[in-house]
Structure 1
């Protein structure tokens, strides 16, 4: 409880006595096991009068047993007051999960700064906040009319939770969003759609396209919480629909490629450049595999008859034959592009013409701690590799910009009007 100096009165101690009576009334209504008074040097003189009121009721109120006084030195310093209140919350077991102490914080009395600091501290640590009301016809609450007002802060907590969710969503931290959503109690907040939204993008971030599509289809985009991302989510839903349902293998693969490139960009935004470059390397390889698929060629099982039909040089075919293992010819990134060059494909030509630059970029990836080495990659390494992959992706399909845009995750506006229809 914060303790004020009392209202002005006709006697020297009249103000303290009136203040003490109100404190006594509150204590009797709450009936706590222990009271902590936060008092300035001047307001400490109120406490003995509280003891007197207990004696008048044939009861005892003993310092050290029933109550303690915590001094407030800087009554008009918000941070100083907050830290004093906070220290007592810690002392009474905030970090001890086995502790069952229930803390009720009465911020009615004291200076405005003390009251504001206690209210904020209580809200920050999710404690029960109360204030004393009653008949104020004479300015102050009249003795005997005191009422305890329990402040229901769930809407404020939920608004704060929504802001945290939006921040986490924008940072691609989807699982924390789900955890926070499970604690929201305001029935006006459309929690189910928000949960499906976060689960959808969490699944998509893990390249689980079917799960992402199923979750996203269950999001009601007409809810006010989703109004500013509605357009982007619709584009995303179209992209996932093509990945999951398109009869065109090329269209499906191009959307997957765009998803992978955007996935790498998200990792770079988290400063995880080794991870980002590892994903770009896979995108680089996928570009060649998609183009080869258009020739009916699979990198995981090359059919030499198809190569013969396309007039590939016999020496290249003989070389591939010598790599046959377990009855199959499997080729990796470099051979994918060299085969495309043999097919007189523009992607293969680009690879051969820029072999030195590409080798430099891929060698950095190979030396990454997430590949075969122990080196860490930089933002500059990522940007150079990204430029190469996007250039090739655009050569793969003229609509790649559209695919990239439609697989880019939406971002929330952190400003939100909860009353917006």
Structure 2
């Protein structure tokens, strides 16, 4: 079972001891930190202990040399007489909780604070610290009040507010923001922190769902199609969250698309995927990375056409087939002293032209300019950075002029490769 710690301000009002004892009995914490004044330490604390003893609950002050009975609750008390100085109490209460509770191994999700008694400054300071440290619960005891305005013993009930719900939604919103910007590693780092902080089973299930989702699209973004499918299958099994995030249809499409890419490494699905991978880099402002992918896309298009239409690979050109087609001599003349069976971008497209493929666009002025810019970039052979304008022009040309000619139904297929944008929903 999770451990529970309680931090409690202790005032001196009439009969407040009864409400404080009731709160401790109700919460049944494993440890209590009393924030007292000189007066409340002398007048109220003994009454709290006596009331709990009547209920069969022992309170034992913790020291290094004290043996705590198994059925007793250890406590530490800290005296602070700045009873009307909220700013000073804020600073001090934060230090006390860090020193005496967090350093004892309690996580923020295992700590509650009780503001039933104490001055307004004491209660306000403790609430602010609870919010700042993202503690689990803020509670107080209320009940029926007598003629003197005080809670009548025996009518108490605990009122509890859970700031953790607010913190969870805030963190979740940050995860979604990272996901929507394709910052998958940042999202996973935050999800890992959330997994340590939040113990509520339903929240942990939602963290699990988001983790599978983020891991799936991260692996897809890294071309690990099998790993992506494994993660997205797990997310797809959590139907309540698919509905909550409106992702059911999108994950079905994603899984179907990944399956086609896994089945055929020379699939035209991968052509579109590689383009959208570069497009995401462009959207992230990583223009050199985007252009590197667009260059690889041109190479891959040649590989796909050679493989699918002519049963050849750029690393193993079938010279006998070239002889059968009567183009071997032209190929030999073009390659001169170069390897006849292993070719790069230029050789692959020259060969496709010999084979009768419509690849005239590879000799266009635009393509030559884009390839020149890539070749002189830092990720190729030069030192010239690629700016947004150059990368954007290359991307738009591919999308407008080349991909519709290479991939049948390119526009319709494109929707399969746009990673989902999650709406922030409570």
Q: Same fold (TM over 0.5)?
A: yes
Partner in structure 1 of residue 144 of structure 2: 136
1:204: Cα distance to partner?
Answer: 0.9
- 1:28 and 1:241 map into 2 onto residues whose CA distance is 56
**Residue by residue, what CA displacement relative to the aligned partner does 1:137-193 show, whole Å, maximum 9, x if unpaired?**
345534686666665555555444443332332232334345256345443454454
**Residue by residue, what CA displacement relative to the aligned partner does 1:374-398 show, whole Å, maximum 9, x if unpaired?**
4432222221121233232221122
Cα-Cα RMSD:
4.2
- Please say if 1:345 is aligned against 2:357: yes
- Aligned residue for 1:276, secondary structure, equals helix
User: Structure 2: which 5+ runs fail to align?
Assistant: 1-6, 51-76
Partner in structure 2 of residue 44 of structure 1: none
Alignment of 1:207-222 (within 5 A): 207-220=223-236
Say which is worse superposed, 136-145 or 392-401, in terms of deviation: 136-145
- Please say if 1:203 is aligned against 2:211: no
**Residue by residue, what CA displacement relative to the aligned partner does 1:95-137 show, whole Å, maximum 9, x if unpaired?**
x996658875334468989867753541442325443313233
- 2:122 and 2:373 map into 1 onto residues whose CA distance is 58
- Aligned residue for 1:287, secondary structure, equals helix
- Please say if 1:122 is aligned against 2:122: no
Q: 1:235 aligns with which of 230, 242, 253?
A: 253
1:286: Cα distance to partner?
Answer: 0.9
Is the Cα–Cα contact under 8 Å of residues 236 and 408 in structure 1 kept in the other structure?
Answer: no
Alignment of 1:119-198 (within 5 A): 119=127, 121-138=129-146, 140-142=150-152, 155-175=165-185, 176-177=187-188, 179=192, 182-183=195-196, 184-188=198-202, 190-191=205-206, 192-198=208-214
Is the Cα–Cα contact under 8 Å of residues 134 and 146 in structure 1 kept in the other structure?
Answer: yes
Shift of the 396–318 alpha-carbon distance from structure 1 to 2, 3 Å rule, reads: same
Report the TM-score when normalising by structure 1.
Answer: 0.71
Say which is worse superposed, 139-148 or 231-240, in terms of deviation: 139-148
Report the TM-score when normalising by structure 2.
Answer: 0.71
Partner in structure 2 of residue 78 of structure 1: none
- 1:93 and 1:181 map into 2 onto residues whose CA distance is 19
Is the Cα–Cα contact under 8 Å of residues 2 and 114 in structure 1 kept in the other structure?
Answer: no
Shift of the 55–214 alpha-carbon distance from structure 1 to 2, 3 Å rule, reads: closer
Partner in structure 1 of residue 270 of structure 2: 256
Partner in structure 2 of residue 85 of structure 1: 90
Shift of the 120–253 alpha-carbon distance from structure 1 to 2, 3 Å rule, reads: farther
- 2:89 and 2:375 map into 1 onto residues whose CA distance is 55
Alignment of 1:349-388 (within 5 A): 349-354=360-365, 357-388=366-397
Is the Cα–Cα contact under 8 Å of residues 169 and 198 in structure 1 kept in the other structure?
Answer: yes
- Aligned residue for 2:408, secondary structure, equals coil
User: Structure 1: which 5+ runs fail to align?
Assistant: 7-15, 38-46, 60-64, 76-80, 417-421
